[in-house]
């Protein structure tokens, strides 16, 4: 069985974001990079399936500049067998359709039985790429999964809906699944597996070789949201802050009465 998991490297969302000089994305200086959180669930599910099947080969794919290889090594240490790095220094300027086209172009003649993606990325958050890859490849896609089962060519899953209920869905392979937070418990790579991962194949393919399409959309402006104001910001010594908060609770609420 051939498996593919697509991951993205994103900045830590606790970072302070500044706009870059071209005014179309965030400035990358001083950012700490990590695996997109949704993709950690995708990698874990793919590794679990590989363990279940036994005879399976798992490729991890990531698009971006050289630095994304660090994140790919984490996926390799979690249990992926090989890495396919689609080298693109300007991947942040690509729209979701272009990213999906690159992945589909890579995957189209490789016979993957199942493709795993995260539901969305934490930085761009379009929630488009996974479904678009499946549409371009002409295979079914199940999105927003919080439960996953594979048995004899059929994927059974549960989609998370607003309000906490779930929709039970299934399809046959080849297929793509997009993973929601909470699908499983992503493992931490162990030190021996981190060492082993360094010896695994990690091939770089220039994005241009995969014939990326022309952009369908462009960013005309990016900026922090306008502060609506009104909210009081308190800073300083914790003991003084505690006194200020208690004073505010007395003045503005009835909860201490």
Q: Which residues, 85 to 114, sit near other proteins by CB under 8 A?
A: 95-97, 100
Which of 53, 127, 194, 205 touches other proteins by CB under 8 A?
127
Considering the complex, state which of residue 90 and residue 244 has its C-beta at the smaller distance from other proteins.
244
Check residue 247 for interaction with other proteins (CB under 8 A). no
Check residue 165 for interaction with other proteins (CB under 8 A). yes
Whether 179 contacts 117, CB under 8 Å: yes
Helix (H, G, I), strand (E, B) or coil at 163: helix
Per DSSP, 56 falls in state -
Which of 19, 56, 205, 210 touches other proteins by CB under 8 A?
19
Which stretch in 44-52, 73-81, 190-198, 235-243 sits in contact with other proteins by CB under 8 A? 235-243
Q: Counting Cβ atoms within 10 Å, is residue 4 exposed (0-12), middle (13-18) or buried (19+)?
A: buried
Count the site residues for other proteins by CB under 8 A. 80
Residue 82, beta-bridge partner list: 59
**What is d(CA 46, CA 117) in angstroms, rounded to the nearest whole number?**
10
Considering the complex, state which of residue 18 and residue 198 has its C-beta at the smaller distance from other proteins.
18
Minimum Å distance from CB 81 to other proteins? 27
Residue 7 Cα distances to 35, 82, 225, 233, angstroms: 7, 13, 28, 37
Site for other proteins in 179-198 (CB under 8 A): 181-182, 185
Check residue 11 for interaction with other proteins (CB under 8 A). yes
Site for other proteins in 20-49 (CB under 8 A): 26
For residue 135, how many other CB atoms are within 10 A of its CB? 14
Helix (H, G, I), strand (E, B) or coil at 249: helix
Considering the complex, state which of residue 58 and residue 131 has its C-beta at the smaller distance from other proteins.
131
Check residue 8 for interaction with other proteins (CB under 8 A). no
């Amino acid at each position: 069985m051939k498996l593919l998991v697509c991951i993205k490297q994103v900045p830590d969302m606790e970072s302070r974001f500044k706009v870059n000089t071209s005014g179309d994305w965030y400035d990358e200086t001083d950012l700490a990079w990590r695996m997109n959180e949704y993709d950690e669930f995708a990698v874990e599910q793919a590794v679990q399936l590989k363990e279940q099947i036994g005879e399976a080969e798992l490729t991890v794919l990531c698009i971006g500049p050289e630095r994304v290889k660090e994140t790919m090594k984490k996926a390799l240490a979690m249990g992926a067998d090989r890495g396919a790095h689609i080298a693109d220094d300007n991947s942040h300027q690509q729209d979701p359709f272009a990213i999906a086209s690159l992945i589909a172009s890579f995957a189209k003649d490789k016979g993957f039985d199942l493709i795993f993606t995260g539901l969305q990325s934490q930085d761009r958050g379009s929630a488009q790429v996974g479904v678009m890859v499946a549409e371009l490849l002409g295979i079914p896609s199940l999105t927003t999964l919080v439960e996953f089962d594979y048995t004899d060519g059929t994927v059974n899953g549960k989609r998370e809906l607003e309000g906490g209920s779930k929709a039970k869905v299934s399809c046959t392979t080849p297929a793509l699944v997009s993973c929601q937070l909470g699908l499983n418990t992503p493992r931490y790579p162990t030190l021996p597996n981190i060492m082993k991962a360094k010896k695994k194949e990690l091939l770089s393919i220039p994005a241009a070789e995969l014939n990326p399409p022309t952009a369908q959309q462009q960013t005309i402006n990016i900026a922090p949201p306008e502060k609506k104001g009104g909210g009081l910001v308190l800073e300083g010594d914790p003991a003084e802050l505690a006194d200020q908060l208690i004073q505010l609770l007395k003045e503005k609420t009835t909860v201490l009465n």
